[in-house]
């Protein structure tokens, strides 16, 4: 996955991506342990690419209680001599981190951890990862839009209260107060447009502009926000 992710950053021929097939998918790729997650982060494996790859893999085996000496001793004694020697040799070489887990599965009579032969091309994996990113962004955008619509609908019920707040700020004839009033008017414009009262808002805004021409920065602030009657 790290190689495919790095490969995607290079300007290679599309045909090469179509010909390269994904490696076998190990079980439990969708449920990484903390060390596995740390390794994936260190190798900068793209999270979406990893998730897409995990979709094709078998589920991780259910965790089981680690057996004790009394359970293991007779099982180990029953192993063929050649198999014991092979296991001891592999243990002595010390380059197989999963040897202990493999031995436990062998003693329990369980099959090896399954892997799924790679079927998809690198191009298909990258396309699927990109589609996942696009879908997540679209989902986030829908949430943002829904939240804004809900906010505008709630503010529509407070339209008159907002107008009173704006008029109170403007009446103080202070620059800071006018800035607050302009910000509230910009928000109110969106509210009124949302509920179909945009024309009425612009009439009231025109009246406000005619009535208050002197507060510092008011008309300039309204023009900057395109707030015209």
Domain ranges in the chain?
A: 2-60+115-140, 69-108, 157-224
- 212: tokens are 């208050």
- 24: tokens are 């076998």
CA 69 to chain centre: 45
pTM listed for this prediction:
0.49
Question: Contact 210/219 with Cβ under 8 angstroms?
Answer: no
Q: What per-residue confidence (pLDDT) applies to 202?
A: 94
Query: In this structure, how many other beta carbons lie within 10 angstroms of the beta carbon of residue 171?
Result: 13
Residue 187: half-sphere exposure toward Cβ, Cα within 13 Å: 19
Q: What angle do CA 177, 181, 184 make, to 5 degrees?
A: 140
**pLDDT tens across the length of the chain (229 residues):** 555 555 454 555 556 666 677 777 777 787 887 888 888 888 788 888 888 888 877 666 666 667 778 888 888 888 888 888 887 888 788 776 667 777 777 777 766 655 566 677 778 888 888 899 899 999 999 999 899 888 888 888 899 999 999 999 998 888 899 999 999 999 999 999 989 999 999 999 999 998 887 766 788 899 898 888 6
The residue among 88, 116, 109, 82 whose CA lies nearest residue 100 is 88
Cα(30)–Cα(52) distance, rounded to whole angstroms?
Answer: 9
Q: What angle do CA 148, 152, 155 make, to 5 degrees?
A: 140
Cα(93)–Cα(116) distance, rounded to whole angstroms?
Answer: 28
Q: What per-residue confidence (pLDDT) applies to 14?
A: 59
Q: What per-residue confidence (pLDDT) applies to 79?
A: 82
């Amino acid at each position: 996955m790290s190689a495919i992710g790095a490969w995607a950053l290079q300007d290679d021929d599309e045909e090469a991506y179509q010909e390269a097939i994904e490696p076998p998918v190990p079980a439990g790729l969708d449920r990484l342990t903390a060390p596995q997650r740390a390794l994936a982060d260190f190798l900068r494996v793209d999270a979406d690419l990893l998730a897409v790859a995990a979709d094709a893999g078998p589920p991780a085996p259910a965790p089981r209680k680690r057996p004790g000496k009394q359970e293991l001793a007779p099982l180990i004694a029953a192993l063929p001599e050649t198999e014991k020697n092979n296991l001891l040799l592999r243990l002595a070489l010390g380059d197989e981190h999963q040897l202990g887990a493999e031995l436990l599965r062998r003693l329990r009579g369980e099959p090896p951890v399954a892997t799924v032969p790679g079927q998809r091309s690198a191009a298909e994996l990258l396309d699927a990862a990109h589609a996942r990113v696009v879908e997540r962004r679209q989902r986030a955008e829908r949430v943002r839009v829904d939240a804004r619509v809900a906010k505008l609908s709630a503010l529509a019920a407070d339209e008159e209260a907002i107008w009173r707040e704006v008029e109170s700020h403007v009446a103080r004839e202070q620059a800071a107060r006018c800035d607050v009033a302009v910000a509230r008017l910009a928000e109110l414009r969106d509210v009124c447009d949302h509920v179909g009262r945009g024309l009425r808002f612009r009439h009231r805004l025109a009246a406000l502009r005619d009535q208050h021409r002197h507060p510092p920065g008011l008309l300039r602030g309204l023009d900057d926000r395109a707030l015209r009657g």
